[in-house]
Structure 1
Amino acid sequence: MDTRWYGRRSGKKLRPGRQALVETLLPKIRLKVPTGGRIGSLADCFPHAPKDVWLEIGFGGGEHLAAQARAHPDIGFIGCEPFVNGVASALTLVEHDGLTNIRIFDDDARLILDALPDASIGRLFLLFADPWPKRRHERRRLVSGNTLDQFARLMKDGAEFRFASDHMDYVRWTLEQVLRHLSFAWLVCGAGDWRQPPPDWIETRYEAKAFRRGENPVYLRFFRRPRAAAADEKPLL
């Protein structure tokens, strides 16, 4: 049974310049995962100890990841993306802007989730992931009870989980899954909040494509409840 969260690993043949970056730059900033164990300290993965570490799963071409890294030079960023063409695109941005606060994991995100230390992530992004719309593929959707257990383990108390999608069935699925989980609460104040991106939002290429198709994305924000409080909560669904 294929339960991968991602589709293709590669697309068109890379141009020579991008292929060179994959061969030279990627090994320098690739996040290495210990076999059968967990990373001891994320601060040691960066040249300068960051004040916090944020994680983006499925960064596409890396535009959002790089823009966040530019805007927050004191934050360490881990980007997960198995699609080599997307990784190569991100590497061009890292090189062009001289970004030293990005580490890339170019394999199945489940491997890095298993390896991250407890309470080590201050913000987690899952933006315009593949919705796997066919019913037989629902098990390949990233948001599930098991994955949320992992998110809850690795996120700090009060950390934020940002989700965005233009696929309404996936939005409903995600909201149902998260509201059932005792470790998360929905950051919503009004009926229209889910249509408005956060104030510091950075547009992604997939978001721009959705707008060009005339579709309106949905933006969901959740926070990781304090561990002591989460133990006393009851699921909302």
Structure 2
Amino acid sequence: MSIQESQRKLYGRRVGRPLREGLRGLIEQELPARALTLPDNPEQGLDPQDCFAQTPDELWLEIGFGGGEHLAAQAEAHPSVGLIGVEFFRNGIAALLRDCRERNLDNVRILEDDARLLLNHLPDDSLDRAFLLFPDPWPKTRHHKRRFVQRETLDALARVLKPGAEFRLASDDPGYQVWMLRHMMDHPAFEWTARRPRDWQQRCQDWPATRYEEKAIAEGRQPIFLKFRRR
């Protein structure tokens, strides 16, 4: 089942502290060239390969990239990979655009919309990797329906991930950690790759840190780092 345009409802802040003039200018000058726009027709497909100046060897998706530190680091480390970042928070978008300009990253595209709608438009087996790192846990029970990790969205993600593709998740919220593990383990399309505790207690070397992880550790919370493989 796909998520229709009429069902879209994004929660959370659109803007935090007022953007400085330089960051506002970045959005005006840099975002149009990097923006990924969804088709008006909800039934129309989108070939993500066409969004890049050069056809990438692989396509990776980060859902809710926050300040963009992880996405920018991955883009710099893997110049032949096309990275699509989805974020609605304008301060985070501006921060990522600044990193892209400073590091001359041409393999990043940004969707300022609902990631679930993007999944509707993507072809089957089109993504090689996906990330969901430190999403808002929406801790109140009445808000659990806002969490990205739901059976419906995992169904959609499983459709667009290639067989063998990796889905990485991280959270520092104990309640959401249990929620993530339960929903991922219950889904028949995903297999947990951990074989020993350190596989989920520590980031692997090709998993750059984010400011949310650093803040969590500084405040005494222990993140977990999950890797699942598309069966």
Q: Report if aligned partners of 1:3, 1:139 keep a CA contact under 8 Å in 2.
A: no
Q: Give the residue type in structure 2 aligned to 1:172.
A: V
Within the alignment, does 1:18 sit opposite 2:27 as a pair?
no
Q: Assess, with a 3 A threshold, how the Cα gap between structure 1 residues 99 and 39 changes in structure 2: closer, same or farther.
A: farther
Q: How far 1:154 moved relative to its partner?
A: 0.7
Q: Please give the per-residue CA displacement for 1:168-212, whole angstroms capped at 9, x wherever unaligned.
A: 110110111111111000011113421021231200000000111
Q: How far 1:108 moved relative to its partner?
A: 1.6
Task: Give the count of matched residue pairs.
Answer: 224
Q: Report if aligned partners of 2:46, 2:123 keep a CA contact under 8 Å in 1.
A: yes
Q: Distance in 1 between matches of 2:195 and 2:155?
A: 25
Partner of 1:63: 69
Partner of 2:194: 188
Q: How far 1:4 moved relative to its partner?
A: 4.3
Across the aligned residues of Structure 1 and Structure 2, the Cα RMSD in angstroms comes to 1.4
Matches within 5 A, 1:144-159: 144-159=150-165
Partner of 2:223: 217
Q: How far 1:44 moved relative to its partner?
A: 1.3
SS in 2 for 1:25: helix
SS in 2 for 1:22: helix
Q: Give the residue type in structure 2 aligned to 1:149.
A: D
Q: Distance in 1 between matches of 2:217 and 2:23?
A: 29
Q: Give the residue type in structure 1 aligned to 2:154.
A: L
Q: Report if aligned partners of 1:123, 1:155 keep a CA contact under 8 Å in 2.
A: yes
Partner of 2:93: 87
Partner of 1:233: none
Q: Give the residue type in structure 1 aligned to 2:14.
A: R
Match of 1:172 among 178, 199, 218: 178
Q: Report if aligned partners of 2:46, 2:121 keep a CA contact under 8 Å in 1.
A: no
SS in 1 for 2:110: strand
Q: How far 1:157 moved relative to its partner?
A: 0.5
Partner of 2:47: 41
TM-score norm. by structure 1 comes to: 0.91
Partner of 1:132: 138
Match of 1:98 among 95, 98, 104: 104
SS in 2 for 1:8: coil
Q: Assess, with a 3 A threshold, how the Cα gap between structure 1 residues 60 and 97 changes in structure 2: closer, same or farther.
A: same
Q: Give the residue type in structure 1 aligned to 2:172.
A: D
Q: Assess, with a 3 A threshold, how the Cα gap between structure 1 residues 85 and 16 changes in structure 2: closer, same or farther.
A: same
Within the alignment, does 1:29 sit opposite 2:34 as a pair?
yes
Q: Please give the per-residue CA displacement for 1:97-147, whole angstroms capped at 9, x wherever unaligned.
A: 111000000112122121111111100000000000011100011001001
